[in-house]
Amino acid sequence: MNHHWILSMTVGVPFLGALLLPLIGGWSERIRNGLALGFVLAALAGTLLLIPSVMAGTTLSVSLAGFNLFYADTLAVFMALVSALVGAVIVLYSFGYISHYPWRNEYYLMVVLFLGAMLGLIFARNLLILYLFWEITAIACWRLIGFFREKDYVLKADKAFLVTVFGALVMLLGFIMIYHQTGSFDLGRIQDILQGQPISNLALALILCGILSKSATVPLHTWLPDAGVAPSPVTALLHAAVLVKIGVYVYARLFVAGVMIAPLWHTVVPAIAAVSALVAAGAALIETDLKRLIAYSTISQIAFIFLGLAIGNEIGLAGGLLYILMHGLAKGGLFLCAGIVEQNSHTKDIRQMGGLIS
């Protein structure tokens, strides 16, 4: 079995789906829906097929003309598995939830494109490739949050886009500084060149700005509660499956399983995470909008994941990764249930939701 080919197809299949789904949707919505799920399940199956190799300690890579594009190790496969699994559930849930809304072709295009970009980011071996897929997720997120096209929704989508894209541009400056320090954007070569030496503090600070903006960490968090205006499957995708965990994964990839950082950051980053966890938890206690309440809960829990990873030891990494899996499953289910409650009660105000059991 050619696992290198499987890795390429795992990343590429969702992009193929994003191209085909709008065309097929104009002919048959039922076939489009089935293929949308099929493309996501194909990515999930590809990820599952990579598990035996990476568990055996083999690092798989894909290169083109001597340029390293993707690689898969246990950390990447774990994150891809969580993303594809939750993504498949969300697409399945969308069949009924989104059926009476317009722009369904665009919806499935963006959801599948989002998942493909996430997988590309997870398996990226090159910092520029990582940045490219990072920005594709921002574009898909922007379109999905503003899905209903109303002015307030579009403004909140624009806010999410501007915060995350600005953070990404700052992060790109950090990547350029790493290139200036090492002469390479390739993650493997960067580790070999540094040989245990820490990257510059300024480069890390710039990259951290991008990571914190994507992960909605206080004070760069306000876009995520506003994103609750999106359809419930989208909010589940943003909060539970992948979007806010992109930053967590990149931090783990670069600074836990990757290059060394100065000891100071093992204090600074956990402190930022602790403050974010407390502030977001406090905001959740006084929130009355159901989706915004869950969003603040997500911000707090992502901060707990950061707290574990930023400690920088094996126990912290293991705890953080376990939390990613559990949070993805639990929060995804919670948002999908919130969508059912909203559709049946016709409100997101928890003060008007008494008697739901009856």
| Tens digits of residue pLDDT in 266-320 | 888 889 989 999 999 998 888 888 878 888 888 888 888 888 888 777 788 888 8
Average pLDDT in the chain: 84
Exposed, middle or buried by CB within 10 Å (0-12, 13-18, 19+), for 70? buried
User: Using one digit for the tens of pLDDT, what is the confidence trace for 87-113?
Assistant: 888 888 888 777 777 888 888 899 999
Q: What pLDDT, on the 0 to 100 scale, is given for residue 11?
A: 92
How far apart are the C-alpha atoms of 9 and 103, rounded to whole Å? Answer: 28
208 within 8 A of 200, measured Cβ to Cβ: no
Q: What pLDDT, on the 0 to 100 scale, is given for residue 334?
A: 78
* Listed residue (90, 83, 18) closest to 47, CA to CA: 83
Q: Phi/psi zone of residue 33: left (φ > 0), alpha (ψ -120 to 50 degrees), beta?
A: alpha
Q: What pLDDT, on the 0 to 100 scale, is given for residue 354?
A: 67
Report, as an integer, the average pLDDT of 22-34. Answer: 86
**231 band by pLDDT with thresholds 50, 70 and 90:** low
> Residue 186 pairs with which residues in a beta bridge?
126
What stretch of H or E contains 61?
strand 60-64
* Listed residue (169, 275, 276, 158) closest to 227, CA to CA: 158
**240 band by pLDDT with thresholds 50, 70 and 90:** low
The proportion of the chain whose per-residue pLDDT surpasses 70, expressed as a percent, equals 92
Report, as an integer, the average pLDDT of 177-182. Answer: 90
How far apart are the C-alpha atoms of 27 and 170, rounded to whole Å? Answer: 43
Residue 236 pLDDT exceeds 70: no
Per-range mean pLDDT, top range of 134-138, 214-218, 294-298, 332-336: 134-138
The proportion of the chain whose per-residue pLDDT surpasses 90, expressed as a percent, equals 23
Residue 141 pLDDT exceeds 80: yes
251 within 8 A of 310, measured Cβ to Cβ: yes
Residue 193 pLDDT exceeds 80: yes
Q: What does pTM read for this prediction?
A: 0.88
Strand pairing class (60-64; 67-72) = antiparallel
* Listed residue (114, 284, 205, 349) closest to 341, CA to CA: 349
Cα distances (Å, whole numbers) of residue 316 to 100, 217, 290, 332, 343:
45, 19, 31, 23, 39
Determine if the peptide bond prior to 22 is cis (ω within 30°).
Answer: no
Residue 1 pLDDT exceeds 80: no
